Structures are given as structure tokens and as C-alpha cells.
């Protein structure tokens, strides 16, 4: 691995600035947490990290450390984590998250022996964390780069890889003043990137141990086809009619969808809406805005599902299987600033997909739009036009959806490349 030094006056300033920011962040987060339950949960959770690790790990345990920023990165890394456990069957697994949304949902993840919040990235915390975890192998997912912990790991000659990595030229790693952050990337003995562009960016800073493996999510969603995706209540609702599934929607998505349902959608087309936020007041508002017969998941046992045109899913954890029943999918998040949700989950079922117009940070969306299996809309008229065309033209709908299935199939294989590398290079 290159020994290039990135130390310069600007780097020293960045290092000081970063560490000062981390010091101040602990107090700032505590203050904000008084008003923000999500941030408060993270503050409280981080206080317990070291105690949880002390109770779960002994000095003689062999360990693996998997780190994810949030839930999306966990889902991205999980198939790799599962395969790594086969290579290291006698190791304990520590799983860490930075975000409360990841920790809260996966704090009892069966893949791990201990699930914790990642402490704030101070030098002291980095040393304490690694003293307790002492991992034989560390795996970070995608882009959550914390320089103090990674540089401390490198100082201890610990093994680490970064998987499903995605970079943009605007990031600090690729700026003349970004030496402190660049240094952290060299803690990884190997980086597996999602695409060639990320590889080329790494090469501009002298990093060479790179494999373009693709996105592990392709392998994960492909596995969805190998399991039973039957949901009897969805089949009852669909009643052999064309089904339009809108997944992970936000209010801005729902506004357009509700207007389309109320004014233009054929009455024999079924709609399933699975909102990202399932708070009761928002679900109730959504239901009241829809002017056709609507049923909630929470009341499905007492209703005749086949008679409703719209099914609102006020629960979590079943959207992936619901996509199995879709003829058309809309995936939320790209009309606003929240970020596009997972479009690969519906794509694997070979159906056309609609999204909003903010997707430039999602290469899979860029690809599927270029392949003409996905459509980006920015307003009501565009959603109405493409939705109606897909509903009315079955040949167009089928050919469009098939392009997404081909795209998934063509991009599988990331897990095999990563585990092959680890299998060859592991000491078990």
C-alpha cells in the first residue's frame, strides 16, 4: 500500500478543526437532543457503547467488526457479513451503527453478538473502542469514513476493507486540502467500489488496492426471488387486477399519487401505498384525502379487501414482498430532499418504476433511466402521463419492466468477488 504522506500546514489545520469539531459535537448533540428524540436516542446510546462491549467481549475472544452508517448500509452489507461469518465461524461479531434509525431497527440483528452505536470519532474513543473490540477483520460499508478510528486501526496494523464504496469528486478526499481525510482511506487494505468512476477517483490520490465489484444490493435483491414472497392478504386485495404499488412514499409523493387516484386512474386498477412514515395522524390524513374506497393494513382482518381500490400499509417490513404483486411501482424520496429509497427491490420483479427527479447520487437510478426501465417525473402532469401509458399499454409495460430484471441480473456478483478475496487472504 502506498506510503505517501499527506501532511501539510492545511492538513494540520484540518486535523485540528476536525478534532475540535468532534469535541464540540458531543455538547451540541446533547443540547439538540433536548428537542430532537432521534438525536437524543443517539446520545444516550453512545453512552452505553463501551459498557456493552465490556460485557460482550473478553480479551481472548476473536472478533469481527462490521460498521454501517444506517439501515440502508446494513442491508447493503448483510449478505457479505453472512458470507464472512462462514469464513470466520469461531469469531464474535460486533455490529455498529452511527444513525439511530439503523440501530433501533437492527439492535437485535441475529448476525451479531453485540450491536452498538459507534462512539463519536475522538482519538480517545477510537483507542478505547479498538482496545475493547480488537477486531481481526473490520468491514465498513459504502462511505462512512471516520479518520481517527481508521487511523488508529491502521496504526495497530488491523485488517480492514471497505465494500460497496461510492465516491464523488466533490468529496473532501479528492481536494488539495483533504489530506487528513485521505489518510483514513489508506487504513483499508482493499476497497471494493460500486463503479469504475469511484475506482478512478481513488487512483487520483494514489490508492491502488481496488476492485470494481459492483453493489452488493444486487445480490441481495436477487436472493429475494429464491424465497416465498406470498402474502395472502395482498393477493385477496389485488383480486387478479392490475396493481400499482407506491413504496416508501413521503407527503410530496403522496400528493401527486392521491390526485392521480382521485381524478384520472381507472377504477379497476388497484393501488397500494406504503408510506415511509406510518405515524397515525399522517396515515389518517392520507386515508381521508383519498376519495375512493380505502383500507388500512391495521384493519385488514375486519374488511373485505377485494372491494377496496387503495390499500395503505401502515406497518413496516413487508414492502419487498408486496412488490412481488406489483405491475407498476413508484418509489418515493426523490421528489424532495430526503433521498431516493431502494429501487432495486421492485426492479428484481421485472416491473417498470417511477421516481422523482432528484436522483443524481443514485447510480442505479441513473442506469435504469438510461436503460428505459425507469421514469423520472417532476410534476403532476408527468406522473399522470407515464402512469396512464403504463396502465393502458400492456406490451409497453411488460417490455419496460423486463429491462429492469435484466439490469439486476447483469450486475450480480459483488459478494463473490469480496468473499473470494477474503477467503484467499484470511488466516481464519
Which residues are annotated as catalytic?
73
- Rounding to the nearest 10 degrees, give the CA dihedral for residues 353, 228, 114, 96: -10
Contact 81, 66 (CB under 8 A): yes
Give the residue from 171, 177, 222 showing the smallest Cα distance to 197.
171
Give the residue from 180, 188, 191, 179 showing the smallest Cα distance to 147.
180
Containing 181, the helix (H) or strand (E) segment is: helix 179-185
CA atoms within 13 A on the CB side of 79: 21
Give the residue from 142, 151, 145 showing the smallest Cα distance to 192.
142
Q: What is the DSSP string of 310-345?
A: EEE--SSS-HHHHGGG-SEEEE-SSSSSS----SHH
Task: Give the total residue count for the chain.
Answer: 428
Give the residue from 307, 288, 310, 285 showing the smallest Cα distance to 297.
310
Give the residue from 328, 250, 263 showing the smallest Cα distance to 290.
263
Strand partners of residue 1: none
Side by side, the strands of the sheet bearing 270-275 are: 294-296, 310-312, 270-275, 243-249, 328-331, 353-355, 374-376
Amino acid at each position: 500500500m502506498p506510503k505517501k504522506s499527506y501532511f501539510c500546514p492545511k492538513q494540520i489545520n484540518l486535523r485540528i478543526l476536525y478534532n475540535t469539531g468532534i469535541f464540540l459535537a458531543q455538547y451540541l448533540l446533547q443540547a439538540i437532543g433536548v428537542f430532537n428524540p432521534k438525536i437524543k436516542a443517539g446520545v444516550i446510546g453512545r453512552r452505553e457503547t463501551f459498557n456493552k462491549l465490556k460485557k460482550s467481549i473478553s480479551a481472548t475472544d476473536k472478533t469481527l467488526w462490521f460498521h454501517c452508517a444506517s439501515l440502508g448500509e446494513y442491508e447493503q452489507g448483510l449478505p457479505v457479513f453472512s458470507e464472512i461469518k462462514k469464513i470466520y465461524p469461531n469469531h464474535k461479531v460486533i455490529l455498529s451503527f452511527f444513525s439511530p434509525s439503523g440501530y433501533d431497527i437492527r439492535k437485535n440483528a441475529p448476525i451479531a453478538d453485540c450491536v452498538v452505536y459507534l462512539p463519536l470519532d475522538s482519538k480517545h474513543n477510537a483507542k478505547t473502542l479498538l482496545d475493547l473490540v480488537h477486531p481481526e477483520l473490520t468491514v465498513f460499508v459504502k462511505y462512512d469514513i471516520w479518520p481517527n478510528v481508521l487511523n488508529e486501526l491502521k496504526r495497530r496494523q488491523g485488517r480492514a476493507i471497505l465494500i460497496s464504496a461510492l465516491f464523488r469528486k466533490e468529496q473532501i478526499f479528492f481536494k488539495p486540502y483533504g489530506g487528513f481525510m485521505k489518510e483514513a482511506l489508506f487504513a483499508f487494505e482493499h476497497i471494493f467500489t460500486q463503479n469504475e468512476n469511484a475506482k478512478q477517483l481513488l487512483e487520483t490520490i494514489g490508492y491502488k488496492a481496488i476492485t470494481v465489484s459492483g453493489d452488493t444490493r444486487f445480490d441481495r435483491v436477487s436472493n429475494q426471488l429464491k424465497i416465498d414472497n406470498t402474502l395472502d392478504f395482498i393477493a385477496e386485495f389485488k383480486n387478479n387486477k392490475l396493481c400499482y404499488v407506491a413504496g416508501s412514499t413521503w407527503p410530496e409523493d403522496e400528493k401527486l399519487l392521491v390526485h392521480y387516484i382521485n381524478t384520472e386512474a381507472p377504477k379497476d386498477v388497484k393501488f397500494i401505498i406504503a408510506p415511509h412514515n406510518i405515524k397515525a395522524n399522517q396515515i389518517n390524513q392520507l386515508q381521508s384525502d383519498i376519495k375512493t374506497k380505502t383500507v388500512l393494513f391495521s384493519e385488514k382482518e375486519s374488511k373485505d379487501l377485494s372491494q377496496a381500490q387503495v390499500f395503505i400499509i401502515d406497518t413496516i417490513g413487508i414492502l419487498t414482498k408486496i412488490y412481488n404483486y406489483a405491475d407498476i411501482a413508484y418509489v418515493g424520496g426523490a421528489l424532495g430532499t430526503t433521498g431516493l429509497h431502494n429501487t432495486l427491490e421492485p426492479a428484481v420483479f421485472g416491473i417498470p418504476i417511477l421516481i422523482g427527479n432528484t436522483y443524481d447520487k443514485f447510480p442505479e437510478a441513473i442506469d435504469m433511466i438510461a436503460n428505459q426501465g425507469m421514469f423520472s417525473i417532476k410534476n403532476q402532469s408527468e406522473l399522470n402521463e407515464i402512469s396512464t401509458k403504463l396502465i393502458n399499454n400492456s406490451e409497453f409495460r411488460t417490455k419496460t419492466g423486463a429491462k429492469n430484471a435484466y439490469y439486476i441480473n447483469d450486475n450480480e456478483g459483488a459478494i463473490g468477488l469480496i468473499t473470494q478475496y477474503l477467503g484467499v487472504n484470511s488466516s481464519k
